[in-house]
Structure 1
């Protein structure tokens, strides 16, 4: 009985982690329109954290960048 309770607890624990890590991925190339009128174009995919709207992408040198939802107005990706 104790093992069943531990299993159920772990099952609920892991299912709640999925909601914390909800990330939506879009394959590139992608264009991100910034609030200051500039554009970022990346050939690689972007990821958006659904809870905050933060976009994460890698530039052509492989450096990882993040853009908060308040810093961009829209994005589009070509599949």
Structure 2
């Protein structure tokens, strides 16, 4: 994270976006077991992220993940982030 903080936060935001999307889909369409699995995964990731990031970075990543769900065309996708020349330094 120290070497490439923006890359880390971008990838973190994308992971949070995927988890939030799964959680919403499980809530709407999933079985009870699937809902529990996704909810447990979401809470486990959040529980690990809160202490490792500062409050400001954590809140920024969550806010960006929510914005990414509302406006997916306004953000780069994960594949592009991995192979972008600006992040491959």
TM-score, normalised to structure 1, is: 0.30
Rg (Cα) greater in structure? 1
Task: Compute the TM-score of the two structures, normalised by the length of structure 2.
Answer: 0.27
- Structure with bigger helix share is 2
Name the one with the larger strand percent.
1
Higher relative contact order (CA 8 A, sep 6+): 2
